[in-house]
Structure 1
Amino acid sequence: MPGAEPSQKPDSSLPDGTTRHVLTPRPPFRGYVIAAVLSLAGAALIVIAAAQGWANGWIALFAVLLALGIALGLTATWSMIRMRLYVDLDASGYRIHGAGQDRSGRWADVTRAALTESRSRLTLYHGQVARTHIVRPGVGDPREMDELAADVARRLDADRGYSQQP
């Protein structure tokens, strides 16, 4: 699954020691199937209507059906790309961006981190009241959240001077 492993990209704009986790939703298969059916049906009906000499109104209607199928496929792809969530972790803190948000914080301010049982949300606690929620987009891959939680734990331990024994 794309984005399941954290990536360090030396050729990107990420500073050294920064890990980028990309949380992606699962592809909208149902939307793609409906788009394909609409597109194929529209195209086939246009060919049949033209070959049989049907009225131009029918051909226009089938062209609209074809256009709706293409639009649905493009919309499904656009929404999947737009819902990606990027979580950048470095020695000093984190930055969450994408999917309409841009938040950041320092490890020194995080008092606790907890992953929900369903592995759909990682919560970073900042004292008794403040919270930062990292929510897996759509019905994404739980392994992405496991990797993120493990990396957050390593970063928190390193910030506090703890050592992890193998």
Structure 2
Amino acid sequence: MSATPPTPPPQRFTLNAPPPVRPLAIAAGTVVVGAVLLVLWHGLSLPLAAAVLAGLLLVLGVALVLAALLFTARLRTEVRLYPDAITVRRRDQERSVSWREITEVSLTHPRLALLTAERTGGVVVVNPRQASDPVFSSLVEEVRRRLDADRGYSDQPLSPS
């Protein structure tokens, strides 16, 4: 009775954009100014233009928060490394390529491109963080290791003949 060994789970790398601190701070300031202006309008009986301006500032601040969070979420990329393939998922798009189909690899920050012979195939991983991001560096190293293993290369130094 021979049982087939279970396939190992894929190794996952999630590349997230840095938090949008500056847009969120600007949005918070805009909302606070709009709220203060609205309170002053009500308390000091300012003209209706002050209330309209306060409302616009509040709406602008909320819209900026939503836009910042949406753009940050859209930059999220998940990479799954299987024993025989790599899968990249970004937004609602998913693309897989087997290790043996990959003919060319290029790394130009912020892009790791794994191309196939057709040149129309392949996958591209975009790093939304700095070049020194440890998750992206680990991903690049693991891709290198898996490509080497697929092609039969080893990390052993050559012995003199």
Q: TM-score range by the shorter chain?
A: 0.7 to 0.9
Q: Which residue of 1 aligns with 2:4?
A: none
Q: Which residue of 2 aligns with 1:159?
A: 150
SS in 2 for 1:105: strand
2:136 matches 1:145:
yes
User: Which amino acid in structure 1 is aligned with residue 45 of structure 2?
Assistant: G
| CA–CA separation in structure 2 for the residues paired with 1:43 and 1:102 | 43
Give the root-mean-square deviation of aligned CA atoms: 2.2
TM-score relative to the length of structure 1: 0.77
Shift of the 128–98 alpha-carbon distance from structure 1 to 2, 3 Å rule, reads closer
Could you tell me which runs of 5 or more consecutive residues in structure 2 were left unpaired when the two chains were aligned.
1-6
Match among 22, 30, 49 for residue 14 of structure 2: 22
The one-character-per-residue Cα deviations of 1:11-37 (angstroms, maximum 9, x if unpaired) are: xxxx73311111222222331122111
TM-score relative to the length of structure 2: 0.79
Q: Between Structure 1 and Structure 2, how many residues are aligned?
A: 148
Mapping 1:24-103, distance limit 5 Å: 24-99=16-91, 101-103=93-95
Match among 117, 125, 137 for residue 127 of structure 1: 117
Q: What percentage of residue pairs aligned between the two structures are identical?
A: 34
2:97 matches 1:105:
yes
| CA–CA separation in structure 2 for the residues paired with 1:73 and 1:165 | 52
| CA–CA separation in structure 1 for the residues paired with 2:60 and 2:156 | 57
Could you tell me which runs of 5 or more consecutive residues in structure 1 were left unpaired when the two chains were aligned.
1-14
Q: Which residue of 2 aligns with 1:114?
A: 106
| CA–CA separation in structure 1 for the residues paired with 2:124 and 2:69 | 25
The one-character-per-residue Cα deviations of 1:66-119 (angstroms, maximum 9, x if unpaired) are: 121022112211220122011111101011111353211000111232322xx3
| CA–CA separation in structure 1 for the residues paired with 2:116 and 2:105 | 9
| CA–CA separation in structure 1 for the residues paired with 2:20 and 2:47 | 36
Larger gyration radius, structure 1 or structure 2: 2
State the structure with bigger RCO (CA 8 A, min sep 6), 1 or 2. 1
